[in-house]
Amino acid sequence: RRYVAGGQCKSRAKLEGKVVIITGANTGIGKETARDLARRGKVVVACRDIAKAEAAASEIRAETGNQQVIVKKLDLADTKSIREFAEKFLAEEKELHILINNAGVMLCPYSKTADGFEMHLGVNHLGHFLLTFLLLERLKQSAPARIVNVSSLAHHGGRIRFHDLHGEKSYNRGLAYCHSKLANVLFTRELARRLQGKSQRRAEFTANALHPGSVYSELVRHSFVMTWLWKVFSFFLKTPWEGAQTSIYCAVAEELDSVTGQYFSDCQPAYVSPRGRDDETAKKLWSVSCELLGIQWD
């Protein structure tokens, strides 16, 4: 059980006066990340399901005594919702210090977002890509700031299929998830490179990705087989609290103040697949993502 649990964030860093956004924080590792960070500072819970988000936030407020756990509606499968969220947040909050791109979908039957993107790519990558773009200036103004992207070990099985990004020619929901998690790693790598290039001090902005581990959560709800397997082998899976440790580590650990563009697992650096280290693919994905979203991000 101790081996399965993996690493644990030891940092006691406080976030007084700081603001954190966590996407998908109404359940699973997102909720546990919010619960921990609410003991340190202000947390914005950004979720599609407002009722579930309010229930989670109410529970966290009661447990931590922190009334600064705010719920905002955010549907990453709809760019209109993402823009509305960003517009409201920027109007209400003058600072943003940590953005945790945590929300995700897994093993979805073939479907598309409101904008016509394949669901895994649209939610896991493009939605967070747009959200980060819209909030980046506020992060810069609040520096030092951190961007944390929740990826997965599954990125090892991914490829960026530029000829069929939306799975219209061929689709496998397991591979679609892997592709989107590889996109998270490549986005982090290219974002870190660009932020480093424009920053006088390397520590001002950091962007890192992570693998939370195999976690017993609702993420596999779209697959009956995986749901059954998760129940049978639950003893060998991390709890959501254990799965949240690396997200928390990347968000607050003092030793990561000047670390950027890296990939972590169990609160330590982890191996990235060769495709995840391909700078040319990362640059091309950045360009294609901007084109799909209709934005200019130089």
**pLDDT of the residue at 225:** 55
Alpha-carbon dihedral of residues 286, 292, 295, 298, nearest 10 degrees? Answer: 20
**pLDDT of the residue at 127:** 98
- In the chain, the number of structural domains is 1
Alpha-carbon dihedral of residues 218, 70, 130, 99, nearest 10 degrees? Answer: -90
Rounded to whole angstroms, the Cα distance separating 77 from 54 reads 20
209 and 188 Cβ atoms separated by less than 8 Å: yes
* % of the chain surpassing 70 pLDDT: 88
Average pLDDT over residues 243-266: 96
Is residue 3 a part of any domain in this protein? no
208 and 261 Cβ atoms separated by less than 8 Å: yes
Report in angstroms the alpha-carbon separations of 69 from 13, 41, 45, 81, 190.
Answer: 18, 9, 7, 20, 31
Q: Is 170 exposed, middle or buried (0-12, 13-18, 19+ CB in 10 A)?
A: exposed
User: Longest C-alpha distance within the chain, in Å?
Assistant: 51
Confidence of residue 237 (pLDDT cuts 50, 70, 90): confident
Is residue 1 a part of any domain in this protein? no
Answer positive or negative: Cα dihedral of 118, 119, 124, 126. Answer: positive
CA 144 to mean position of chain CA atoms: 19
In this structure, of 20-24, 216-220, 244-248, the range with the lowest mean pLDDT score is: 216-220
**pLDDT of the residue at 204:** 79
CATH number of the structural domain spanning residue 24? 3.40.50.720
Rounded to whole angstroms, the Cα distance separating 67 from 295 reads 36
In this structure, of 69-83, 109-123, 126-140, 237-251, the range with the lowest mean pLDDT score is: 237-251
pLDDT for 199 beyond 80 = no
Is residue 44 a part of any domain in this protein? yes
Is residue 298 a part of any domain in this protein? no
Is residue 23 a part of any domain in this protein? yes
Confidence of residue 1 (pLDDT cuts 50, 70, 90): very low
Q: What is the pTM of this model?
A: 0.92
Is residue 297 a part of any domain in this protein? no
- Inter-axis angle of helices 79-92 and 128-141, nearest 10: 20
Is residue 8 a part of any domain in this protein? no
Alpha-carbon dihedral of residues 211, 293, 77, 26, nearest 10 degrees? Answer: 50
pLDDT tens digits for range 22-32: 999 999 999 99
Confidence of residue 230 (pLDDT cuts 50, 70, 90): very low
User: 3 an active-site residue?
Assistant: no
Report the chain's mean pLDDT, rounded to a whole number. 91
Question: Which residue of the set 110, 177, 216, 271 is catalytic?
Answer: 177
pLDDT for 150 beyond 50 = yes
Is residue 5 a part of any domain in this protein? no
Range of the structural domain that residue 124 is part of: 15-292
